[in-house]
Amino acid sequence: MYELLEEFKVPNNSRRVAQALLSGGEFGRPLMVTPGTPPERVKILRESFAKALKDEELLAEAKKGRMDVDYSSGEELETLVKEVLDQPREVIEQAGRVLLEIHSRNVFPEMKIAWGTYPNNIGHTESPGCFRCHDGKHRSDDGAILSRDCSLCHLLIERIGEAEAGGRDSARFQVMKNPHPVDIGDSWKEMLCSECHGASP
Ligand code: HEC
Ligand code: HEC
Ligand code: HEC
């Protein structure tokens, strides 16, 4: 992203707009309270949160679910918020126009449709999709189980024998042993992809 901004010599204000809109990722999963919450209560919440994230039981639970725990303090996030919000007027107006454009392409109030109104059932990653029936449990009228075996619909292959064939020229492949891009144990076999990848309710 930053390389592209460089390459196309994007003007400084547009760059700030892009950075502000993309900054969401840097916040992780922050917890917020409403403006005007008394400082002593904010302090209690911040201290308890920091303490909770050191709790052994919680850490064990996170490890079991293969979730990374990477704590950022309330103070750090507050600094980040101030940095992102502290923009010249032109940048705020430009960001407003960009958000309006994105919104008008995704949300149609007169039709009561927003991007999350209907799930996209092509595939099975962000919504159950094909796995609504192909879940290894449903049966068709003739009693056949609707398999969710990946090879029913995909040929997921990986290269083998690179070393002996002398590097990347090897043309030998095998069916992937673990087709999920990051190690999540056997969860990709047992859970619906959308349980982890779906939109939050
Ligand atoms: C409403 C239920 C339902 C949904 C949703 C569904 N299928 Fe099926 N699918 C079936 C049934 C029933 C069969 C026939 C299984 C049988 O009798 O052997 C079938 C068979 C198949 C077969 C043939 C393999 C076989 O076992 O016979 C393929 C391939 C397939 N479906 C792909 C897909 C894909 C891809 C999606 C998602 C885009 C999808 N299906 C979604 C019900 C469904
Ligand atoms: C019933 C058929 C079916 C089965 C079974 C199935 N898939 Fe898929 N899968 C699809 C379809 C259809 C798509 C969407 C293709 C598209 O959007 O062009 C898809 C998409 C994907 C993608 C791309 C997801 C993304 O968001 O980029 C991955 C990865 C994937 N499948 C892996 C798997 C794995 C692993 C399994 C076994 C656990 C599996 N699939 C089982 C039909 C199936
Ligand atoms: C237990 C939770 C979990 C389940 C179940 C799961 N995933 Fe993932 N998946 C993850 C995590 C965590 C990552 C890494 C996220 C990242 O790097 O942003 C990931 C990354 C991915 C990626 C690469 C990054 C991306 O979003 O494009 C794809 C594609 C993907 N998963 C597809 C699938 C498919 C298809 C299934 C079902 C067969 C599945 N996942 C089931 C947790 C899960």
Residue 101: band (very low, low, confident or very high) from pLDDT cuts 50, 70, 90:
very high
Q: Where are the domains of the chain?
A: 2-111, 121-201
For residue 186, pLDDT beyond 80:
yes
For residue 1, pLDDT beyond 80:
no
191 Cβ below 6 A of ligand 1: no
pLDDT value of residue 164 = 57
> Distance, CA 182 to ligand 3 centroid (Å)?
7
For residue 162, pLDDT beyond 90:
no
> Distance, CA 177 to ligand 1 centroid (Å)?
24
Among protein residues, the one with the nearest Cα to ligand 2's atom 20 is: 123
Q: Extract the tokens encoding 6.
A: 């460089």
Is the Cα torsion angle 10, 14, 20, 24 positive or negative in sign? negative
Share of the chain above pLDDT 90, in %: 48
What residues flank ligand 3, with Cβ below 6 Å? 125, 180-182, 184, 187-188, 191, 193, 195-197
Residue 175: band (very low, low, confident or very high) from pLDDT cuts 50, 70, 90:
confident
Better pLDDT: 200 or 160: 160
Spatial distance between the Cα atoms of 153 and 124, rounded to a whole number of angstroms:
12
Of ligand 3's atoms, which has the minimum distance to the CA of residue 67? 12
Mean pLDDT value across residues 48-56: 93
Mean pLDDT value across residues 120-146: 92
Better pLDDT: 166 or 173: 173
- With contact defined as beta carbons under 8 Å apart, do 29 and 69 qualify? no
Non-local (6+) Cβ contacts of 183 within 8 A are 66
Of ligand 1's atoms, which has the minimum distance to the CA of residue 153? 29
For residue 9, pLDDT beyond 60:
yes
For residue 167, pLDDT beyond 70:
no
Cα-based distances in Å from 62 to 59, 83, 110, 197: 5, 31, 43, 17
Residue 95: band (very low, low, confident or very high) from pLDDT cuts 50, 70, 90:
very high
Of ligand 3's atoms, which has the minimum distance to the CA of residue 184? 1
